[in-house]
Amino acid sequence: MSSEGPTASSAFRVAALAILTAVVAVFTMTVRVPSPIRGGYFSLSDVAIVFVALTFGPFSGAVTAAVGTAAADLLLSSPQWAPISFLVHGAQGLVVGLIGRWIAGRPLPTILTITLAGVAGVIVMAGGYLAGGTVLAGFGQALTEVPGNLIQSGAGAIFGPLLALAVRRPIPPSTRTDGEHARNQNPRGARSDRGGSAQSRA
């Protein structure tokens, strides 16, 4: 019976990552505004990416952002952007999640946490797409996309944390796909509890 625990947990994490990846892809594909560079577009992907990264951690944020946005590019006939989306949005999800986790363990206001994580996400996304757009179409063309990318990533920095805050309480810690809940347990405390119980029984 005990051997089923890790297997069930792993299966749940894989299923959760698949669902969250689909959420990112849907947010990317639902609302699209064409960008100056051919084949490019602006979307709501950053809202989903920041939400996932802050709610489920850096690993989930990176994987779902990278795979979800790249898959959307392929499905939307923008394959030239898929590698860039994979790298840039993957880095965005990772950075936002790492900052959120790092600050969460410190006595700092929640507003500071979401502000720093959001600003970092904006910098990674806008800077990454400026570099990627330069490779695809040259620096001049890529520069014309910066305002749109700032708006897109800025929307993610605002609405992603709000969505995360709205759903964080209903989601139990045990559903974290990065295994954060397990790491936060205190095995020594658990042993001492068992020891205390044994003494009381004695």
Query: What was the pLDDT predicted at 154?
Result: 93
CB neighbours of residue 165 within 10 Å = 14
Residue for token pair 């299923």:
15
Q: Which domains does the chain have, with CATH numbers?
A: 4-201 (1.10.1760.20)
Measured CA to CA, the distance from residue 11 to residue 105 in angstroms comes to 28
Please give the residue that has the higher pLDDT: either 186 or 198. Answer: 186
126, HSE (Cβ side, Cα atoms, 13 Å): 21
The chain-wide mean pLDDT, for the chain, equals: 81
What pLDDT digit, counting tens, does each position of 48-65 carry? 999 999 999 999 999 999
Query: What was the pLDDT predicted at 38?
Result: 62
Query: What was the pLDDT predicted at 40?
Result: 73
Does 195 have pLDDT greater than 80? no
- Give the H/E segment covering residue 42: strand 41-42
Measured CA to CA, the distance from residue 50 to residue 96 in angstroms comes to 7
Residue count of the chain, please give it. Answer: 202
Q: What value does the mean pLDDT take over residues 80-94?
A: 96
**pLDDT grade, residue 12 (50/70/90)?**
confident
* Structure-token pair, residue 78: 């923008």
How would you class 52 by CB atoms within 10 Å of its CB: exposed for 0-12, middle for 13-18, buried for 19 or more?
Answer: buried
Rounded to a whole number of angstroms, the CA Rg of the chain reads 20
Bridge partners of 34?
A: 41
* Structure-token pair, residue 21: 């990846």
**pLDDT grade, residue 5 (50/70/90)?**
low
Query: What was the pLDDT predicted at 184?
Result: 46
Query: What was the pLDDT predicted at 196?
Result: 42
**pLDDT grade, residue 171 (50/70/90)?**
low
Does 105 have pLDDT greater than 70? no
Q: What value does the mean pLDDT take over residues 94-110?
A: 80
Long-range contacts of 194-198 (CB under 8 A, 24+ apart): none
Does 181 have pLDDT greater than 60? no
